Chain A
Amino acid sequence: MPSISMTVNGQAVTGEVEGRTLLVEFLRDTLGLTGTHVGCDTSQCGACVIHLDGVSVKSCAVLALNADGAEVLTIEGVADGDDLHPMQEAFREHHGLQCGFCTPGMVLTALALVADNPDPTDAEVRHGLEGNLCRCTGYQNIVHAILDGAKRMRG
């Protein structure tokens, strides 16, 4: 089996994978980083969103082999120890999560969105979430959380 190496949440990691192993499987099963979730098999739900070399991607749609040498950020790497990132704080403050299953993907999508557009409108946030499904919240509190998270990040 081929061996791959990458940096995940600032740590150098290596592991063996099959050709068909998905990046999300590598993260969850090999590295034990189970914060990245799998909600579908057609790249529709966004529960698996991570950052790959600074860009948000669906880790169920990337082969682990293709991430060899990359820099990966998962939900486990977002907070600073026990201190939540301002975007995570905003989700908690605005009740932007219920069951929490979509939440890691939502937070990482939000961070990428705000990196591109630090002061988005309500409509821009909604548009930016087109790759992420949430079945619990009706999205309103997620949108409010991202708008507030962006504001907190602007300082």
Chain B
Amino acid sequence: MNKVSFGDTVRRAEDHRFLTGKGNYIDDITMPGQAHGVVVRSPYAHARINGFDADAARRAPGVLLVVTGADWAAQGFGPIPTKSAVKENRDGTPIAVPDRPCLAHDRVRYVGEGVAFIVAETRDQARDAAELLDVDYAPMDAVTHPVKALEPGAPQLHDGIADNLCVDWELGDAEATEAAMRAADRIVRLELHNNRVTGAPIEPRGAIASYDAGTDSYLMYQATQNIHANRNTTAEILGIEADKIRHVGPDVGGGFGAKNSVYPEPALVLHAAKTLNRPVKWVNDRAESFLSDTHGRSQYSTVELGVDDDGTFRALRTTTVGELGAYCGTVGAFTPTGGSARTQGGPYGFEAMYYSARAGFTNTAPLDPYRGAGRPEGSFQIERIVEKAARELGIDPVELRRKNLIPKERLPLKTAMGLDVDCGDFPTVFEQALAMTDRVGFQARKAASEAAGKRLGFAIAPYLECTGGMPKEHAVVTFTADGSAHLAVGSQSTGMGHETALPQILAATLGLDMARIGFTQADTDATPLGGGHGGSRGMEMGGNAVLQTAGEIIEKGRAIAAHLFETDVDKIDFEDGSFFEKDTNHIASMTEIIAASFDPERLPDGMEPGSLNTGSTFERGIISIPNGCHAAEVEVDPDTGAIAVTGFWVVDDFGTIINPMLADGQVMGGVGQGLGQALMENAVYDEASGQLVTGSLIDYALPRADDMPPMTLEYYEGAPTKKNPLGVKGAGEAGCCGAPPAIVNAVLDALDGLGVTHIEMPLTPEAVWRAIDAAGS
């Protein structure tokens, strides 16, 4: 029997499959008779479409179906809706939401926007036919820069939407912030850019669907993070009942937000499958992924910190320009507004805070959540301004942070941004992280580095986070008389290891053998609802749904045990996998109770065989507040600008840790993406042509093994949250919040004395070299 507890490092159930080539990813799925679809994508950033000539494409070998934007429009399908939680501007008027069709028919607004869908017998034939589709474009002026898009005279993307503006929004007390700013000894100001990046999961997006004419229903597999919600929205677009689509997520090769949104292609695939009455498969190639996956971040911000000469923080004000891309994505306007405002100020105390944001439309791919979705932006803003303040005040940056961290005694509190911080111990986490970094040895390492012509730098970055995603989650447990169980959940792993962690929770709670628990996720037939993955919700939502379901099973088990022992239910205790009758030697294991639950002879009145099977919906009250502290040491070669991150230390407070090995994986992966954004990743559009310059893995730099530092990880487990029964706080996005400020500030520390006070991300060798050069001249 494989007995497990919370906190155990349980090796993953899914690994054997992945390690032997038996993973079942989207492109691995074949359906009998399947045809292959490709999307024809706009080569222009902004153009009017005068018409389509699809004759040659329709006649090409193997072609089964050509759906142009005009054909799609004629069908009368709905636009792709946005589901932004922020729906109003600061003056109460609704935000501007343009129609976004699945295929453009009269105008394209970004390079990569779909204009036709071609289905053929083979993928190569569909691609060949795509070359033959003639689209008559009349190019228009484009704007790809989020700030320039909002300026007078900028090319306009949408008729009826003035000045390309989607949303104009604020949070906090502007007057109190202004008063506290004025009362402060000084105001430290910094303009910064949070660079545009993209999730770039190694598996590209794709879907395969079949249609059953008899029942007028569909089966669709999709490489997505959000099965239920995306099924519902796709049905809404097509004007069909959601329960006509069974939507299943197979093994998904990473998501990071890029597979969270509702995209145009699944609706096209369903439509084609029905039209042809045969299965249709579509899988993006990498170039299409860069063009058509959602991008993230991209904010130009002014951050102002009101601070006294002794280092006391008084007020924080952030003024941001974000962007939506060509249309509102699924989360759309929320990320640069509410998503970025929530964690403003990090774990520091302020008298007042104010956040103001505008975000508009640009001729670029739509932006939507990317790992962190606003919290990394907030964390970067506060940590950069604190570092700058330390330099201006002549105070050690470590001391300045220490002085302003919210002390444990002040918790719980509601921040000026309305965030409900219930528990944690920011100073202890900070000191724990600092102690890991070998500050004592730093001077010697720095001297050695200088002797070699390099410069060593250090920075520490505490962060404050919050979880998100859909507030409900469902788990279903079904048993077999032999004592085995099957767990189905609506939350979803795209690599995080829920196939292990969630059965671990069930096994630990019920005392079951983990090897005998089957697992299903991401299948609309398996659970009535589900929130998939996003906002670090895996443990908070999925984990608690499993725990709650297990609790209900134990209650039913007590009733069965009471019946077997011929006693009252309130005399039955459950502990360590067994039911006991108090003050007797009566005992029955969970496995025995499961067996009894299938035997009508042994069940109390009102219980049917199989009634131990339980499904339960967990509903979140208030989002939890993960927090932590990251620190980096870097070595910069001032002659070349090259940066080596030589050490990285992490202390995270995720509340209860269910499986430390999996938590470590989340942290390290997030640090990898944070390092990527800080040092090399950048999604760049050419302003003149609107072309995506970084459209391949040659041009868009992802971190490789030798870019990564050794990482040392610890957890602070002294503050499990009471906001959910497991006490978990969400682990997925921490790395993206902590790593960029830690690394960028460490580089600036290394350059201290050279007159370099700021470098925009990514800190490529060229950017660093130019900054040093400019400061010296």
A interface residue numbers (CB < 8 A to B): 18, 20, 28, 33-42, 44-45, 47, 74-76, 78-79, 84, 88, 91-93, 95, 97-104, 107, 123, 125-127, 129-130, 132-143
Contacts and interface: CB of A to CB of B under 8 A. Distances in A.
B202 A134 contact: yes
Given A79-B20, A130-B704, A138-B669, A101 B253 contact: yes
A130 B286 CA distance: 19
Contacts of A103: 18-19, 23
Contacts, number: 176
Contacts of B15: 91-92, 97, 100
Chain B interface residue number, banded: 35 or more
B376 interface: no
Interface in B254-294: 254, 256, 285-287
Interface in B1-54: 11-12, 14-23, 25, 27-28
B702 A133 contact: yes
B705 A130 contact: yes
A99 B252 contact: yes
Contacts of B703: 138-139
Nearest to B285: A41
B253 A37 contact: yes
A37 B206 CA distance: 14
B412 interface: no
A18 B127 CA distance: 15
Contact of A20 (B124, B202, B672, B697): B124
A47 to B, nearest CB: 6
A76 B16 CA distance: 12
Nearest to B735: A138
B665 interface: yes
Given A34-B27, A84-B16, A93-B11, A74 B21 contact: yes
Interface of B is mostly: loop
B462 interface: no
7 contacts: A37-B27, A75-B20, A79-B19, A93-B11, A99-B201, A136-B495, A136-B665
A29 B484 CA distance: 37
Interface of B: 11-12, 14-23, 25, 27-28, 124, 199-204, 251-254, 256, 285-287, 494-497, 661-662, 664-665, 668-673, 696-698, 702-706, 708, 710-711, 735
Contact of A140 (B199, B287, B497, B711): B711
Contacts of A133: 202, 697, 702, 704
Contacts of A102: 202
A97 B22 CA distance: 14
Given A99-B494, A99-B495, A139 B253 contact: no
A95 B251 contact: no
Given A41-B285, A75-B20, A101 B254 contact: yes
Contact of B673 (A45, A93, A135, A143): A135
A150 to B, nearest CB: 15
B696 A41 contact: yes
Contacts of B698: 42, 44
Contacts of B285: 41
A64 to B, nearest CB: 13
A147 to B, nearest CB: 12
B680 to A, nearest CB: 12
A41 B286 contact: yes
Nearest to B697: A44
B110 to A, nearest CB: 20
B496 A98 contact: yes
Contacts of B497: 98
Contacts of B706: 123, 126-127, 129-130
Nearest to B253: A101
Nearest to A76: B21
Most buried by B among A28, A39, A44: A39
Contact of B20 (A44, A45, A88): A88
A47 B28 CA distance: 14
B287 A33 contact: no
Given A40-B286, A135-B254, A139-B705, A75 B21 contact: yes
B705 A47 contact: no
Contacts of A92: 11-12, 15-16, 19
A104 B253 CA distance: 12
B203 A99 contact: yes
Nearest to B287: A41
A141 B14 CA distance: 16
Top 3 nearest A-B pairs (CB, nearest first) are: A35-B21, A100-B18, A99-B495
Nearest to A87: B19
Contact of B669 (A20, A75, A91, A98): A98
Contacts of A34: 21, 25, 27-28
A141 B672 CA distance: 12
